[in-house]
Amino acid sequence: MLTRREFIRTAALFALAPRILTAREREIWVNDVHSQLNRTRVRELLKPRTRDELAEIVHSASRKGLPISVSGCRHSMGGQQFATDSICIDARSLDRVISFDQERGLIESEAGIQWPKLIRTYLAAQASKAKQWGIAQKQTGADTFTLAGSGADTFTLGGSLSSNVHGRGLAMKPLISNIESFNLINVDAKSIHCSRDENNQLFRLAIGGYGLFGLISSVTLRLVPRQKLRRVVEIIRADDLPKRFEERIAATITISQQTDRLTGPTQINLVPTCQITRRRSATKSEDKNQASSLPKSTFRDGISPVFWRRQQSCCARNAQSSSTVPSD
């Protein structure tokens, strides 16, 4: 015979059974921000705030035999930053600048820092200096996307290193050329310092390794002397593009060799012919006012005054911004 206490406990279990059996387990889904083709269910989504917390997550997952995936701003469109039923680590809270050697131009930051914050930090630290340092090249790949109003360049430093991003400098190497060293947490949750002289094999594997060889916790970046750049916009036909590329590359190499200075990036925008109106005179009154200032070859080559004016406005905006932040 059941005691009163056992009866009450059994009745309570029966009352809760339908809810327990039908309650769905909370699911966590992640995806990349561009293609949206990599929707993945993960076991947990963790956001470590310190490198010690990151090491503890790795240690705990390794002890339990659970897979780990790591992501930053989730730009990679191949799903490299996710794994089904893994412990997904969002590294964006690891965003502190650790040190800045203003004599040698070396800055060490946690792997989750994003490029805009990194640039703002070293600019503020050098506000009163005549000689200033800056990044050698701006990474590319997300210029047309805006995330939560933050604009372009929303890449983490660690994510950029893990995919070995590149910029638009025609004679510049990918990001690896700007990396002095980094610290990596391996499967045993141990921090390993990697550079060209120390653990150099792991250094080569981890850059562009998408986290397969360990989790990058901090990066030391090589900066270069800041310089003012001038934007030049040239409208050419697509048939002339290969030749102009060769000319720009040759000029870039020559300038770098003669002056030991880096030249700026090159960006190509291909405009379909349907967007370039073939007309010899403007039809709107505002276009007529602008037409007299345009080169005669503009209309002969099929470029509309509206398109030309947009290009000129773009140049003017860039020139204004370059006067305040020249190289970044």
Mean pLDDT, residues 256-262 taken together: 48
Distance, CA of 48 to CA of 46 (rounded, Å): 6
Handedness of CA 325, 116, 138, 54 (dihedral sign): positive
pLDDT of residue 41: 94
pLDDT value at 277 more than 50: no
Distance, CA of 74 to CA of 34 (rounded, Å): 8
Strand bridging mode 179-185 / 191-195:
antiparallel
Distance, CA of 263 to CA of 248 (rounded, Å): 10
* pLDDT tens column, 218-228: 999 999 998 87
Stretch among 68-82, 240-254, 264-278 having the lowest mean pLDDT? 264-278
The closest of 136, 210, 142 to 175, measured between CA atoms, is 136
Domains in the chain, start-ordered, CATH in brackets? 22-91 (3.30.43.10), 93-225 (3.30.465.10), 264-322 (no CATH)
Cβ(281)–Cβ(289) under 8 Å?
Answer: no
CA angle at 278 for the pair 274 and 279, rounded to the nearest 5°: 145
pLDDT of residue 281: 38
Percent of the chain at pLDDT > 70 equals 64
* pLDDT tens column, 66-111: 999 999 888 887 878 898 999 999 999 999 999 999 999 999 999 9
Distance, CA of 4 to CA of 2 (rounded, Å): 6
Cα-atom radius of gyration of the chain, to the nearest Å?
A: 27
Distance, CA of 184 to CA of 219 (rounded, Å): 9
pLDDT of residue 143: 45
Residue appearing with tokens 């905006």 = 317
* pLDDT tens column, 180-227: 999 999 999 999 999 999 999 999 999 988 888 999 999 999 999 988
Burial zone of 16 (CB within 10 Å; 0-12 exposed, 13-18 middle, 19+ buried): exposed
Q: What b-and-e string marks burial along 123-136, b requiring 16 or more CB atoms within 10 Å of the CB? A: beebeeeeebbbbb
- What letter represents residue 136's amino acid? A
* pLDDT tens column, 52-73: 999 999 999 999 999 999 998 8
The closest of 118, 310, 151 to 223, measured between CA atoms, is 118
